[in-house]
Structure 1
Amino acid sequence: MDYNQHWENPETFAKHVGKKLRNIRKEKEMSLNDLAEKTQVSKLTLGKIERGEANPSLTIIWKIANGLAIPITALVADSKEVVISRKQEGRKVLSADESLTLEPMFTNSGYGSLETHRAFLKPDSFYTAEAHQPGVIEFVTVMEGAAEVVVGEEVYPINVHDSIKFHADQPHGYRNRGKEEAVLHFVMIYTKA
């Protein structure tokens, strides 16, 4: 696959994610029933994803990754020696309400312990993330605009070039109260393999 390939075509992206998921499931010697139980995603939905018939939302991809205890980039990234991640040219995963667009950037290896993402949070919107798997530490830097990061019950205002670090194995979210899109940079470290 060419490093310049874009995932603007939802069918190509769906087939890519499906193939990755099927390979990971088989590697772990799991049935679709086992996978459904671990991820809390229906067997029907998982089957459609594996066959490339469904383009999973960000929420579904997070559920699958958390259930398998892998970074989401294990499902959406290619393995390359040298990779350039250009804004708005890479893979895009949308939240169900399309308030957040996530662009996975890099991972250190297949099921690596580190991953990075660019995220674009629409004006006047809020995205709630479910708790990640145990041991995930998240670093968020605001690159443009401003945002509030909600961790548990606490709200932390973060301005341009400010960063926050927190344990992401608890409910958290991102709010943009502004009138311009907020651009966020995520680094996630998986401390338990």
Structure 2
Amino acid sequence: MSGLLRAVRQERGMTLDDLAADTGLTKSYLSKVERGQSVPSIAAALKISRALEVDVAQLFSDDPEVSTISVDRAAERGADRHHAVAARMLGKEMSPFVVRPGRTFTTHPHPTHLGQEFIFVHSGRVELSHDGRIIALEAGDCAYFDASAPHKLRQIGEDAAEVVVVAGNAPRPGAPRRRG
């Protein structure tokens, strides 16, 4: 747990001082938790997970691979139209999906979100509607755009389309920017 908590905090670009300010816990206590010298109460664990924006169960998982790598096998994906990639991985700054668009633009109640989005057409052909503009994309094509404008995809042509969509999470207000 100790290495995992430290890794997620550092991924978020937070210092122990930042985490202490966000949780109301002391820097020395958080340091002890990170080093495995103290076990947090449920209330403290919830404060820490909220501040780091991760699920408390994952944050205190005993499985170190949950946070360091996620492998997604094509054979295990099924026929879902939207498949979240690396759903159990902690500290993600991106939200990747494999999408199989339908033949019509869907009516989505939330056609926008904060941040940016990248799409790569793996197979087939699609149309991207972005802020009222229609853009045709073929296998191998990609697009990167501001996701705060309305956007949606649809398959065109006879061949089934598969698209990799990566949504970049917008930083939370007041969060320190990653240095690197």
Q: Is residue 84 of structure 1 aligned with residue 63 of structure 2?
A: no
TM-score, structure 1 length as denominator? 0.49
1:115 corresponding residue in structure 2: 95
Matches within 5 A, 1:94-173: 101-106=81-86, 109-110=89-90, 112-122=92-102, 124-129=103-108, 130-134=110-114, 136-173=115-152
- Larger of the two Rg values belongs to structure: 2
Query: Is the CA contact 1:116–1:186 (under 8 Å) kept in the aligned structure 2?
Result: yes
Query: Is the CA contact 2:97–2:164 (under 8 Å) kept in the aligned structure 1?
Result: yes
Return the letter of the residue paired with 1:117. F
Aligned mates of 2:107, 2:126 — CA distance in 1: 13
Q: Which moved more, 1:170-179 or 1:158-167?
A: 170-179
Aligned length: 117
Runs of 4+ more than 4 Å apart: none
Instruction: Determine which structure has the larger strand proportion and give its number.
Output: 1
Return the letter of the residue paired with 1:170. A
Structure 1 spans left out of the alignment, 5+ residues: 1-23, 29-68, 95-100
2:164 corresponding residue in structure 1: 185
Aligned mates of 1:137, 1:188 — CA distance in 2: 6
Query: Is the CA contact 2:66–2:88 (under 8 Å) kept in the aligned structure 1?
Result: no
Aligned mates of 2:66, 2:112 — CA distance in 1: 23
TM-score, structure 2 length as denominator? 0.52
Aligned mates of 1:83, 1:107 — CA distance in 2: 8
Identity across the alignment (%)? 16
Aligned mates of 2:78, 2:167 — CA distance in 1: 18
1:15 corresponding residue in structure 2: none
Structure 2 spans left out of the alignment, 5+ residues: 1-45, 59-64, 173-180
Aligned mates of 2:155, 2:137 — CA distance in 1: 10
Cα distance per residue 1:33-77 (max 9 Å; x no partner): xxxxxxxxxxxxxxxxxxxxxxxxxxxxxxxxxxxx99xxx9xxx
Return the letter of the residue paired with 1:110. L
Aligned mates of 2:78, 2:67 — CA distance in 1: 15
C-alpha deviation, 1:169, in angstroms:
1.8
Cα 1:86–1:128 change in 2 (3 A) is farther
